[in-house]
Amino acid sequence: MNKNKPFIIGIAGGSGSGKTFFLNCFLHHFKNDEVTLVSQDDYYIPAGEMTQEENKLYNFDLPSTIDDHQFLRDINQLVKGEAVYKKEYNFNNPLAIVKILEINPAPIIIVEGLFILHFKEIAALLDHKIFVDAEENVALRRRIKRDGMERGYPEDDVLYKWHNHVVPAYKEFLLPYKNECNKVIINNYDTPDDIIKITQEISDDLKVQYCKRD
């Protein structure tokens, strides 16, 4: 195994699984220069300006909405030790301020997103896979809260997307890979202490694995 090659961790989870909170806790256990994050959310193919109804009907929960070729190129660029610069995706929110992201190479690269296990070339790069999951009713409650607060979506639109887009995509493009993951985290409770403890254990274990590489 190439000691100079970054250790790549994949973190996948359905919408409302609490993946973002888990990820933030996980990152907290590393120094800034030890780890870098590449998020699938920043690789949506721009859908253009849409009305509220068009946005409601547009299915973001399909692999075809992601520029997986650029996603893969950027991961490989980080592996080669080169920084990546790209625009942050704003989910068609006209009030959002679009930032230019600077993603710097690091010894540990975290790749996160719904389809990272479905995209075969990206999945093949992952040295360790973590699956974050939650019961459907818990995940839906979190999705309603997030989309209302962060993206300004009405609850009816959130429910439409949930039943017609989110759940079918989860079952087709994510759930089949659950048993292939090194670690499955069930995150039904918003209990910070529990998640912090779990992420501490995982990060300690991964640091040992990384240090053993020759």
Domains of the chain: 7-211 (3.40.50.300)
Q: pLDDT value at position 92?
A: 58
Q: pLDDT value at position 1?
A: 42
Question: Any residues with CB less than 8 A from the CB of 192 and at least 6 apart, and which?
Answer: 21, 25
Owner of token pair 């220069």: 33
Q: pLDDT value at position 146?
A: 87
Q: What's phi and psi for 115, nearest 5 deg?
A: -105, 10
Structure tokens given for 78: 């980080």
> How many Å apart are CA 135 and CA 137, to the nearest integer?
6
Q: The pTM is what? A: 0.88
Segments in the chain below pLDDT 50: 1
Question: Which strands, in side-by-side order, build the sheet including 183-186?
Answer: 35-39, 108-112, 7-13, 128-133, 183-186
Q: pLDDT value at position 214?
A: 52
Q: pLDDT value at position 147?
A: 84
Listed in sequence order, the DSSP H helices in the chain are 19-28, 52-57, 68-79, 120-123, 136-150, 155-161, 167-173, 192-211
